[in-house]
Structure 1
Amino acid sequence: MSEISREILSVGDLNRAIASSLEERFDAVWVSGEISNFKAYDSGHWYFSLKDEEGQIRCVMFRGRNGQVGFVPQSGDLVEVGASLGLYVPRGDIQLTIQTLRRAGMGGLYEAFLKLKARLAKEGLFDLERKREIPAHPRSIGIITSLQAAALKDVLSTLARRAPHIPIVIYPTLVQGPEAPSGIVAALKSAAKENAVDVILLVRGGGSIEDLWAFNDEQLAYAIAQSPIPIVSGVGHETDTTIADFVADLRAPTPTGAAELAAPRRDQMLQELAAIEQALSQRIHQRVEREAQTLDQFALRLSHALPNPERMREQIQHWQQRLKQAWLVRVDSWSRNQSHYAQQLEMLNPQRTLERGYAVVLNAKTGLQAVRNPDELNTHSAFEIRLADGVANVKFAELESRKS
């Protein structure tokens, strides 16, 4: 014993001795716990911790092993792992080197999600009968999201491409963190009070279950269900699902998908109008041809049945003329209606309004939102003025506001 006590070990030697002892004592173990601090490095290796209410332990799963798992775990997942217990010598940390990983649940957050989902489903918040129809041709579209969200740029780009004639109203709010649910609820109430949009896009980019947790809030679910304005949810990626998705009137797989579902394509509408015009013209000509054929048959029957064919022939000619005039009047009326509808559609083009001498003032600070109130103008912010022939970026040197 005295010889051992006189031996002085380096830290590395001591750690290696501990590692060897652990490997001999624990050949292979199965451990269950909740994943936290999950990180997947470019090397393909996974690093995370397993924890429960009594403790936690570091874990590593190398690329050759995690390729067989079949899914990428996330923080909050409840899993079971088969691993060897050892010690990472450079840091002196006890860790599990995982050979096998299988799903045992989804942790506390997912359990809370499932419980709330089941309760709200029982209350009827997900029923198809209560969902409102999304307008096919909205007069204006509202967007509820963060001004800093990447999803906002994608949505605005999609709407500008598909339906540049539809005005957009943005209701900015936090979409992540403990303050996000109340902010989204306030934005919904603001949109309902203003009643300036026909449909609302509730959007946010993808993330973990923790990142998207604001959209699993119970009060937000009730606010969505009670909204008088139809709501399209586009939260996360296609594989992400939240309580907001189930309550919303329509769920889109992505924020861009929400914009596509809410806005009709302008070029497609014009194509449909042209197709209707062609179909109407064809039906008119077909009807005229059928009636002309019927008239010929009547004329033939009359020529054989009546004693005074000359007089009846004159009457037939008279009827033919009247029928032709009636059809010409009807066709002319249809043509005028068609031109009127085309003019109305053209009048809806915002460019025509600008060409009449009007201009639109956009606030660059609020994401190019149209200025509606003189009080929104100031001398320290940049503004964008859109005219018929271009765009000007301005700063006001002096302002004098008055109500109309």
Structure 2
Amino acid sequence: MPDLSDDAAPRHVLTPSSLNRLVRDLLGDALPQVWIEGELSNVAKPASGHLYFTLKDSGAQVRCAMFKMKASLLRFRPADGMQVLLRAKVGLYEPRGEFQLVAEYMEPAGEGALQREFEQLKARLDAEGLFEQTRKRALPRFARRIGVITSATGAAVRDVLSVLARRWPLADVEVLPVPVQGREAPPAIVAMLRKASASGRYDVLLLTRGGGSLEDLWAFNDEAVARQIHASKVPVVSAVGHEIDFSIADFVADLRAPTPSAAAELLVPDAVAIDRHLQQLQHRLATLQQRQLQAHAQRVDHLLARLQTQRPQARLARDRERLQHLQHRLGAVLREQGQQRHARLERLQARLLARHPRAQLPLLARRLAEQDQRLRRAITHILERRQTALRHAGHALHAVSPLATLERGYAIIFDSQGQVLRSARNVTAGTPLRARLIDGELPLKVGKD
């Protein structure tokens, strides 16, 4: 009977490495990316810069890793006990066969919902045209009265007032206090914007606060605040948080500044630079006036000179000078014509002498000598070229000559009939041979293996 046991069936045997690799691929195909929320524990960040931690809830836990490039983009410092939201790939750590998550993004769990709400409101207001660049107004170059809508006790208002006082002390700055955080902040900001816009007192409004988390800055992501900025009759500058923070107010405002201090610098010019520019203009004006005075003085001198030239005595003197000049030119022309005739006669005499047969003999002798030298140089050049070509041909012939091969230590083997032996295939033991070397021949006999 045939053996029907399991041992007799064909088997595909796996190694631990191949099994782990198979499980890793199956997990990656089935769950390429997941969002998962849980509590951090066992957070570790070694010198490599990678981040290792455990994500757990009340009933289970899973090991996680976030590599250096992704970990460097985190906007917070993960710590044990924090509730976080992860976007991760499901995988398997092959060397140990351990199930793990490879995190690509992480944020505090509370900020995820706020961020989604932020993106939804931003998309809706953008579709309505509240962010259009064409509706944004230019700021006044020299603002006389500035309204600063912010907390009266925060660090932002101190930075703004310090920069405005240093750069442009002529501006009248009024702080319009409002809460900038919490539930009461959005309606207070809306009311202050409406009041400041309707008053007609301000050339520009600055809406600002210092940095914080997304939840801290949420008052500036309120829809009512955004619509009131859009409805303002006065240009509005938004400077909320740090340079990396963006709010809905930033997108609606006529100008967004990265920080409160930067907003203050954008609102007013630099008094020192204006003073320097005025000094440059004053210097240019003085230089221009000086040049115009010099030009007018030169024109007066020119007119006086023209007036002097119109006198009868001056005209007679000019005519006398002109007559003397013409007489001098006439004498020069006559002398030049005499010299030209004399030179022409000399050239005719030289041509007559050159046509005489005896006068041409030296010329013909020089030409013959020159032709002889040129012929000798050509023959010498041809001989040198042919000698060089002969040497090159000799070198090339020697390179492919058997003698050159022998000079490099090789030998040519001949059989007993004097034929060159090219293969050892049919040579038997005891066969006599001859080996030709560079300096002679050697008798050989094939030995046994």
TM-score band by shorter chain is 0.5 to 0.7
2:191 to 186, 194, 200: 186
Partner of residue 149, structure 2: 144
Give the percent of matched residue pairs that are identical in Structure 1 and Structure 2: 37
Secondary structure at 1:79's aligned position in 2?
strand
Residue deviations 1:77-127 (CA, integer Å, cap 9, x gap): 662255789xxxxxxxxxx99763213998443333233223322322222
Using structure 1 for the length normalisation, give the TM-score.
0.55
Secondary structure at 1:33's aligned position in 2?
strand
Partner of residue 277, structure 2: 272
Alignment of 1:296 onto 2:301: yes
- Tell me how far apart the structure 1 counterparts of residues 213 and 311 of structure 2 sit (CA, whole Å): 89
1:76–1:107 contact (8 Å) kept in structure 2: no
Q: Which aligned pairs between 1:1-400 and structure 2 lie closer than 5 A?
A: 32-33=34-35, 65=67, 69-72=71-74, 79-80=87-88, 82=90, 100-103=102-105, 107-305=112-310
Q: Which amino acid aligns with 2:234?
A: I
- Tell me how far apart the structure 1 counterparts of residues 43 and 165 of structure 2 sit (CA, whole Å): 37
Q: Which amino acid aligns with 2:104?
A: R
- Tell me how far apart the structure 2 counterparts of residues 241 and 264 of structure 1 sit (CA, whole Å): 25
2:54–2:61 contact (8 Å) kept in structure 1: yes
2:220–2:247 contact (8 Å) kept in structure 1: yes
Secondary structure at 1:117's aligned position in 2?
helix
Change in CA separation of 1:281 and 1:250 when aligned onto 2, cut-off 3 Å:
same
Using structure 2 for the length normalisation, give the TM-score.
0.50
Q: Which amino acid aligns with 1:161?
A: R
Change in CA separation of 1:67 and 1:285 when aligned onto 2, cut-off 3 Å:
same
Indicate the structure whose relative CO is greater, using CA pairs within 8 Å and at least 6 residues apart: 1
Q: Which amino acid aligns with 1:79?
A: R
Change in CA separation of 1:300 and 1:124 when aligned onto 2, cut-off 3 Å:
farther
Partner of residue 88, structure 1: none
2:74–2:106 contact (8 Å) kept in structure 1: no
Q: Which amino acid aligns with 2:88?
A: E
Q: What stretches of structure 2 of length at least 5 have no aligned partner?
A: 1-22, 77-82, 315-449
Q: What stretches of structure 1 of length at least 5 have no aligned partner?
A: 1-25, 86-95, 310-404
Residue deviations 1:321-359 (CA, integer Å, cap 9, x gap): xxxxxxxxxxxxxxxxxxxxxxxxxxxxxxxxxxxxxxx
Change in CA separation of 1:163 and 1:300 when aligned onto 2, cut-off 3 Å:
same
- Tell me how far apart the structure 2 counterparts of residues 271 and 150 of structure 1 sit (CA, whole Å): 31
Aligned length: 270
- Tell me how far apart the structure 2 counterparts of residues 56 and 130 of structure 1 sit (CA, whole Å): 55
- Tell me how far apart the structure 2 counterparts of residues 40 and 153 of structure 1 sit (CA, whole Å): 41
Change in CA separation of 1:84 and 1:202 when aligned onto 2, cut-off 3 Å:
farther
- Tell me how far apart the structure 1 counterparts of residues 144 and 187 of structure 2 sit (CA, whole Å): 28
- Tell me how far apart the structure 1 counterparts of residues 311 and 131 of structure 2 sit (CA, whole Å): 73
Larger displacement relative to structure 2 (269-278 or 65-74) = 65-74
Residue deviations 1:134-162 (CA, integer Å, cap 9, x gap): 12221122111122322222222222322
Query: CA offset at residue 209 of structure 1?
Result: 2.1
CA RMSD of aligned residues (A): 4.1
Larger displacement relative to structure 2 (251-260 or 118-127) = 118-127
- Whichever structure has more helix as a proportion of its residues is 2
Residue deviations 1:247-304 (CA, integer Å, cap 9, x gap): 1111111111111111222233222222221121111112222333334334434443
Query: CA offset at residue 41 of structure 1?
Result: 8.8
Q: Which amino acid aligns with 1:254?
A: T
2:91–2:100 contact (8 Å) kept in structure 1: yes
